[in-house]
């Protein structure tokens, strides 16, 4: 499910062409993933970090199940990072509209 949609941007007062929207959406998803991973890593013990690293070939469902079992506040981490990123986009709405 996409988090950053044209409707979300419109509600923030941001109007982009389809090309600029796609670029921003890709940047948003990449940045969100990096930030969530960084926050998760801070929560893990060295043993858990090793276990997570060993899941590189696992399916998304397996990784998600492991995260839910080992990172008690995973939902909060994701929610906080989404809020932070959307806040940053809102703060930069004027600059984004210039593109």
Question: pLDDT (tens digit, 9 = 90+) per residue, 36-46?
Answer: 999 999 999 99
pLDDT band at 80 (very low <50, low <70, confident <90, very high): very high
Question: pLDDT (tens digit, 9 = 90+) per residue, 44-73?
Answer: 999 999 999 999 899 999 999 999 999 999
How many independent structural domains does the chain possess?
Answer: 1
State yes or no: pLDDT of 99 exceeds 60: no
Three-state SS letters, 8-62: HHHHCCCCCCHHHHHHHHHHHHHHHHHHHHHHHHHHCCHHHHHHHHCCCCCCHHH
The domain in which residue 68 lies consists of 35-99
Query: Whole-angstrom Cα distance, residue 89 to residue 46?
Result: 34
């Amino acid at each position: 499910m996409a988090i950053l949609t044209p409707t979300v941007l419109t509600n923030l007062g941001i109007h982009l062409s389809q090309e600029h929207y796609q670029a921003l959406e890709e940047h948003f998803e990449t940045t969100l993933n990096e930030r969530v991973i960084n926050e998760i890593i801070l929560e893990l013990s060295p043993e858990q970090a090793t276990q997570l690293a060993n899941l590189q070939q696992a399916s998304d469902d397996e990784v998600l199940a492991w995260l839910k079992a080992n990172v008690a506040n995973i939902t909060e981490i994701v929610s906080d990072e989404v809020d932070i990123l959307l806040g940053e986009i809102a703060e930069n709405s004027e600059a984004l509209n210039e593109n």
